[in-house]
Structure 1
Amino acid sequence: MSGFEFNGDWSGRVVATAIHAGHAVRPDLADRMVLPEDVRFREEDPFTDLIGSGVAARAVAHTSRFEVDLNRPRDGAVYRSPDEAWGLDIWRDPPLDPAAVEQSLVTYDAFYREIGARFDELAARGPFVVFDVHSYNHRRDGATAAESPLADNPEINVGTGSLNRDRFGTVADAFIASFAAQDIPGQAETGRLDVRENVRFKGANLARWTHEHYPDTGIVLALEFKKTFMDEWTGEADHARIDALAAALAATVPDVEAALDALSSRSRT
């Protein structure tokens, strides 16, 4: 299997990416890995490809971030030590040899080359939006421990740290308002999602790279979904919840496209 794939219809203006959804590790690295598979799975972003599946254009990584992290700068995309991986011991007899690192970076370079070619086509047609879909753990103290405080852990964190908000803030605002207004079965008392901006995460390399390469057209919203759609300790998915989140995310696309239209109209006047 390739380290990543592009799916769907890329003729529109909205893309969903799931670049931490992968779990695959190539055999030579798997033989050197001491990180337990269940711990690795807990630190990946499983099922985020399904959350973005209702968006027409999609990019999905199959390679684990523990082989190569597509959301870090190239020189830090391969975790070499616990300091680069939340204190986790990953490798037997570290550090990795340079040849192994370079082999992992082949996937990194190919991903950015190929998504760049697709973004070139989108940018040629005007502003475009990327839903960069990730997830985060909220029960780090254990399976039976209380979840992290709601004040600092929104259901969806929208990262816009590298976004030019003076230019594209209306698009971000339209998305946040639209997503927060979606009805989600079983969602608290109101049925509405807790969507907040830059509370826990501000976005990372894919967002920065896109904003640097497409400053006049690229709009990345780095979406961190709290893992209420799965049991982060057993890995079991709540597929009804995933389907509801996927439908809610897809339902924001018309509002985002309307904001893009308004942005284009203003730029022509």
Structure 2
Amino acid sequence: MSDNPSRDAFTFAGDWSGQLVATSIHAGHDLRDETADLIVLDEETRLREEDPFTEQIASLCPARLVVHRSRFEVDLNRERDAAVYRRPSDCWGLEVWRESPLPDDVSERSLAVHDDFYARLGERLDEMAARGPFVLYDVHSYNHRRDGADEPEAEPEDNPEVNVGTGSLDRDRWGDVVDAFIESLSGTGTAGGEIDVRENVRFQGANLAGWVHERYPDHGVALALEFKKTYMDEWTGEPDRARIATLSRGLAGTVEPVLRALASAGRDR
């Protein structure tokens, strides 16, 4: 997870000939040279606010899009005008840059990544939509120990293991797809019992999910998935490899029931 400015900002992987894709748009930690030179936010805080290992949770899905750039360079889950954190008020009061606001030319080069991401993803999804309805898993993670490494975790009642965000989804049309996802992931066998999967408890989805639903109102089903960071130590960054593997298998196990529900919903339109 070290900075790697020579790597592409994002990569496509897997087989895109089907109707389901998983994206990990906050998984990245890379910065290009000019943003690395300007950033003053310490690396531990930056990593804690990113979504490390979400690309591994999504790794068994058939088609994947992984973003390698840090959200602190450009946040692809925000609209273009808000995608660069220019001031502390843009990102939870954090002091990110040596200069505030960030110089316009630096911001524009970061926004070019935002433009390229949505243009290239749009090309791929246009092909999927031409074949019929499709599903996008928008895979994220969230912190549940914000009070400190030695403090109690947030109340489980308000913090499910997996929050399924459907705020911009037409549930009347695609509700069976959402239900199929929740039922199949909840039924994943783990040493600790069923996975707690609930809808719109903490998050309802943001720009990527909304963009899918606006661009593909008759074909796109975006589920904004927030995995609670029980699969890692959010303060040290240490992963729980066994838990990540379990979640990865569980997410992969939703693909067939979700696609069956999608096909049925598509026929009923």
| Counterpart AA for 1:225 | F
Structure 2 residue 239 is matched with structure 1 residue 233: no
Question: Which deviates more, 196-205 or 168-177?
Answer: 168-177
- Cα distance in 2, alignment partners of residues 152 and 83 from structure 1: 26
Measure how far apart 1:182 and its partner are: 1.1
- Cα distance in 1, alignment partners of residues 31 and 65 from structure 2: 18
| Equivalenced residues, count | 263
- Cα distance in 1, alignment partners of residues 249 and 10 from structure 2: 23
Among 214, 217, 222, the residue aligned to 1:215? 217
Measure how far apart 1:29 and its partner are: 1.1
Structure 2 residue 256 is matched with structure 1 residue 254: yes
Alignment deviations for residues 26-51 of structure 1 (CA, whole Å, 9 cap, x no partner): 11111111100010000000000000
Q: Find the counterpart in structure 2 of residue 96 from structure 1.
A: 102
Alignment deviations for residues 69-111 of structure 1 (CA, whole Å, 9 cap, x no partner): 0000000000011111011100112111110000001111000
Measure how far apart 1:170 and its partner are: 1.0
Q: Find the counterpart in structure 2 of residue 198 from structure 1.
A: 200
Alignment deviations for residues 177-205 of structure 1 (CA, whole Å, 9 cap, x no partner): 11111112x22xxx100000000000000
- Cα distance in 2, alignment partners of residues 33 and 180 from structure 1: 40
- Cα distance in 2, alignment partners of residues 71 and 176 from structure 1: 23
Among 27, 38, 41, the residue aligned to 2:47? 41
Q: Find the counterpart in structure 1 of residue 155 from structure 2.
A: 149
Structure 2 residue 262 is matched with structure 1 residue 264: no
- Aligned with 1:196: secondary structure? strand
- Cα distance in 2, alignment partners of residues 249 and 258 from structure 1: 15
- Aligned with 1:103: secondary structure? helix
| Counterpart AA for 2:225 | L
Alignment deviations for residues 138-191 of structure 1 (CA, whole Å, 9 cap, x no partner): 00000010000011100000000000111111111111111111112x22xxx1
Among 27, 45, 48, the residue aligned to 1:21? 27
Identity of counterpart residues, as a percentage? 60
Q: Find the counterpart in structure 2 of residue 139 from structure 1.
A: 145
Measure how far apart 1:52 and its partner are: 0.3
Measure how far apart 1:265 and its partner are: 2.4
Among 177, 180, 192, the residue aligned to 1:174? 180
- Aligned with 2:230: secondary structure? coil
Q: Find the counterpart in structure 1 of residue 3 from structure 2.
A: none
| Counterpart AA for 1:206 | L
- Aligned with 2:64: secondary structure? strand
- Cα distance in 1, alignment partners of residues 173 and 260 from structure 2: 16
- Cα distance in 2, alignment partners of residues 32 and 125 from structure 1: 45
- Cα distance in 2, alignment partners of residues 56 and 236 from structure 1: 27
- Cα distance in 1, alignment partners of residues 20 and 53 from structure 2: 20
Gaps of 5+ in 2: 1-6
- Cα distance in 2, alignment partners of residues 27 and 236 from structure 1: 26
Report the RMSD for the aligned CA atoms in angstroms: 0.7
Structure 2 residue 32 is matched with structure 1 residue 30: no
Among 61, 70, 74, the residue aligned to 2:80? 74
- Cα distance in 1, alignment partners of residues 84 and 262 from structure 2: 36
- Aligned with 2:231: secondary structure? coil
| Counterpart AA for 1:158 | V
| Counterpart AA for 1:198 | N
Query: TM-score by structure 2 length?
Result: 0.97
Alignment deviations for residues 97-130 of structure 1 (CA, whole Å, 9 cap, x no partner): 1100000011110000000000000000111001
- Cα distance in 2, alignment partners of residues 69 and 153 from structure 1: 23
- Cα distance in 1, alignment partners of residues 157 and 244 from structure 2: 23
Gaps of 5+ in 1: none
